[in-house]
């Protein structure tokens, strides 16, 4: 792995934010170290000659299957909410989303 491909402190913060993972500072350092060791091992994939090879996203054994777009019975609200602590009537209740992100108030 080239030095510029190593994950630094700043990128760790970005990755944690992208992945929605709160990390304690000591944990972040430990994960950063292990992640870089892993990236170094996995970086060997670049050594394989793949000119002209199409990426394989799936085992590809099965043809695509389709079904009619019809309304079917689904879970009752009671079952949908049975594992949630954030119910408000027939809704999931979340804290304010205002003020988040670059376009937030």
Partner 1 sequence: MKLYEMTALELSRLLGKKEVSAVEVTQSFLERTGSVEPQVQAYITQTPEIALAAAEMVDKQRARGEALSPLAGVPLAVKDNICTGGVRTTCASRFMEEYIPPTDATVVMKARRAGMPLLGKTNLDEFAMGSSTENSAFFPTRNPWDLQRVPGGSSGGSAAAVAAGMAPLALGTDTGGSVRQPAAFCGLVGLRPTYGRVSRAGLVPLASSLDQAGPLALTTADAALLLSLIAGEDRLDPTSSAAPVDDYTGALSQGVRGLKVGLLAEHLPPEFDSEIIAAVRRAAAALEKNGAIVEEHAMPHISSSLEVYYLLCAAEASSNLGRFDGLRYGRSESAENVTAMYSRARGEGFGPEVKRRILLGTAVLRESRYERYFLQAQRVRALIRRDFEDAFSRFDLLLGAVTPSTAFKLGEKIEDPLAIYRGDICILPGPLAGVPSIALPAGTVSGGLPVGVQLTAAPFNERVLFRAAHLLEQERGGRPLRPQPAPPAL
Residue whose structure tokens are 């994960």: 31
The binder of partner 1 chosen from 25, 60, 73, 103 (CB under 8 A) = 60
Is 88 a binding residue for partner 1 by CB under 8 A? The answer is: no
Is 34 a binding residue for partner 1 by CB under 8 A? The answer is: yes
Is 85 a binding residue for partner 1 by CB under 8 A? The answer is: yes
For residues 3-36, one letter each, b for 16 or more C-beta atoms within 10 angstroms of the residue's C-beta and e for the rest, the string is eeeebeeeebeebbeeeeeebeeeebeebbeeeb
The binder of partner 1 chosen from 8, 29, 30, 77 (CB under 8 A) = 30
Is 50 a binding residue for partner 1 by CB under 8 A? The answer is: yes
Is residue 86 within 8 Å of 92, Cβ to Cβ?
Answer: yes
The binder of partner 1 chosen from 62, 68, 89, 90 (CB under 8 A) = 62
Is 77 a binding residue for partner 1 by CB under 8 A? The answer is: no
**Which is nearer to partner 1, 90 or 96 (by Cβ)?**
96
Is residue 46 within 8 Å of 5, Cβ to Cβ?
Answer: no
How many whole angstroms separate alpha carbon 7 and alpha carbon 52?
Answer: 30
Is 59 a binding residue for partner 1 by CB under 8 A? The answer is: yes
């Amino acid at each position: 792995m080239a030095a510029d491909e190593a994950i630094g402190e700043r990128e760790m913060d970005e990755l944690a934010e992208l992945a929605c993972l709160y990390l304690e500072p000591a944990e972040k350092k430990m994960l950063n170290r292990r992640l870089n060791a892993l990236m170094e091992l996995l970086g060997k994939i670049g050594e394989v000659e793949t000119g002209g090879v199409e990426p394989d996203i799936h085992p590809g054994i099965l043809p695509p299957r389709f079904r009619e777009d019809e309304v079917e019975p689904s879970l009752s609200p009671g079952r949908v909410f049975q594992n949630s602590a954030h119910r408000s009537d027939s809704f999931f209740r979340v804290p304010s989303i205002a003020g988040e992100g670059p376009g937030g108030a």
